[in-house]
Structure 1
Amino acid sequence: MDITKMTAAERAELKAQLEAEERAEKQKREDDVTAYKSAVDEFCRLKFSRLKAMSEEMRRLKDVVFADAETLIQLKEELFKTKSDRHSDQFTTSDGRITLALGNRTNDGWDDTVEVGVAKVKEFVKSLARDADSAALAEMVMNLLSKDRKGNLKASRVLQLREIARKSGYSELIEATDIIQGAYRPEETCQFISASYKDDKGVKHTLPLSMAAMD
């Protein structure tokens, strides 16, 4: 199409046609965007409604599981004359096929007296004679006193340290580790429930109880 050979009327008509096509294209995009937003609204509202119902049911079921477990825990304590550590409990069917565990997840925590115990350990390490055996003991002790990235002692390492202190026979080290252990104040973070089962072949599987745990 040679625009130079078109009359003024033809050029005006072509311009109007192009503008109309541009407006139509713009309108279609606006309509498509509106339709997309409408689809998003419908998706969010419908799925949120179902997820909310599922969340409420999981909350209700969690409360039921903990309440029923509390009854079993009390019965176990009465029957076997034991006291639960209250952080976690586990129940398994008599055939060993199904296991439920529940309790409170904890983070290691310590009161301010822990620093007294740590200081005493360091004093003890400094007092050791520098032969091969004492150097090895000092290194082992200090490694167990190393803190994590958050600057906290690890309770599992403190238990190892206490065992080493007992075996070493050093009263100063035993006293220091007792102070550290006495300063232990675990902090409960959240409740948890886990369930596992064994299939017909005896293979253990974990029952996914969260969206993230599902394949």
Structure 2
Amino acid sequence: MTQTDQTQVPTAPETTISPEELAAFRAYQARIQRDQRDKELRDTYAQLVDDEIDAATDMLTQLSTDMATIKETVMSNFRSVIDMKTETLGLSKPQGQYTHTFTNSDSTRRITIGNYTIDSYRDTVEDGIKLVTTYIQSLARDQDSQALVKAVMQLLSRNSKGQIKASRVLQLRKIAEEVGDPQFARGVQIIQDSYQPEISRSFVRLEVKDPSTQTWTIVPLNISNL
């Protein structure tokens, strides 16, 4: 036997794992598996959202296109009717009518076509306001006149865009007629003549009458109203 053959190879000492270490290892494995499942769920959720957004975008884009086309078709079809109403029947307001309502013969359906407007005035409105305020402030002598001053000044107050609401000008006209003062009336007239509304966007509204209640119901044409 050679010297090499007589050499014994040392063996590694046996390693023992405590119950605590085994439990910790198993908890670690469980956490890894849970994290992997959570990641897979998040990936699945993200893909589901992407798929539904793509599908909804296609449908809603087509709906928007169809609604715009139908709206333009309806308004175009009614232009000749509006022209007849304006030119032949003379039913349009002299200063321009922005809304037209049409009802069928048996009064079961009606369509309103018009334009939303934004109150706006020419620069001359300031001259009218000055005439009105100069006159009205000269009246602040007793309790009654002070109440009138307060009411008129409220009607002359401006909105967030710096404009006077058209409906308030009509109330001013009524007050001016009751007061009967030429300066006051002239100032209100200048304000009215300065009115130059801006058309913002057009609309179509469809209403049908419920035969059981005889009440008109608006047919939703806005997806948020469905």
190 and 17 in structure 1: CA distance in 2 versus 1, 3 angstrom threshold: same
| Code of the aligned partner of 2:201 | C
Alpha-carbon distance in structure 2 between the residues aligned to 1:17 and 1:125: 89
State yes or no: 1:157 paired with 2:155: no
Alpha-carbon distance in structure 2 between the residues aligned to 1:26 and 1:136: 73
The 8 Å contact of residues 140 and 149 in structure 2, kept in 1 or not, is answered as no
SS of the aligned residue for 2:205 comes to: strand
State yes or no: 1:46 paired with 2:55: yes
Q: Report what 1:115 is aligned to.
A: 126
Alpha-carbon distance in structure 2 between the residues aligned to 1:137 and 1:86: 32
| Code of the aligned partner of 2:105 | S
Deviation at 1:211, TM superposition (A): 1.7
For each residue in 1:125-184, what CA deviation from the matched residue of structure 2 results, as whole angstroms up to 9, or x when unmatched? 133383566445434433322333444211111112123223432111111111111111
- TM-score when normalising by structure 1: 0.85
State yes or no: 1:73 paired with 2:82: yes
Deviation at 1:88, TM superposition (A): 1.4
Q: For 1:197-208, what aligned pairs fall within 5 Å after superposition?
A: 197-201=208-212, 202-208=214-220
Deviation at 1:101, TM superposition (A): 0.8
Q: Which runs of 5+ in 1 are unaligned?
A: 1-5
Alpha-carbon distance in structure 1 between the residues aligned to 2:146 and 2:37: 80
Is the helix fraction higher in 1 or 2? Answer: 1
Task: Answer with 166-175 or 27-36: which moved more.
Answer: 166-175
Q: Report what 1:180 is aligned to.
A: 191
Task: Answer with 69-78 or 132-141: which moved more.
Answer: 132-141
- Identical positions, percent: 32
Q: Report what 1:210 is aligned to.
A: 222
SS of the aligned residue for 1:128 comes to: coil
How many residue pairs align between the two structures? Answer: 209
151 and 129 in structure 1: CA distance in 2 versus 1, 3 angstrom threshold: closer
Alpha-carbon distance in structure 1 between the residues aligned to 2:134 and 2:19: 101
Question: Who wins on radius of gyration, i.e. which is larger?
Answer: 2
Deviation at 1:62, TM superposition (A): 0.8
Q: Report what 2:153 is aligned to.
A: 142
Task: Answer with 190-199 or 138-147: which moved more.
Answer: 138-147
Q: Report what 1:3 is aligned to.
A: none
Alpha-carbon distance in structure 2 between the residues aligned to 1:22 and 1:143: 69
11 and 164 in structure 1: CA distance in 2 versus 1, 3 angstrom threshold: closer
Q: Which runs of 5+ in 2 are unaligned?
A: 1-14
SS of the aligned residue for 2:101 comes to: strand
Alpha-carbon distance in structure 2 between the residues aligned to 1:52 and 1:138: 54
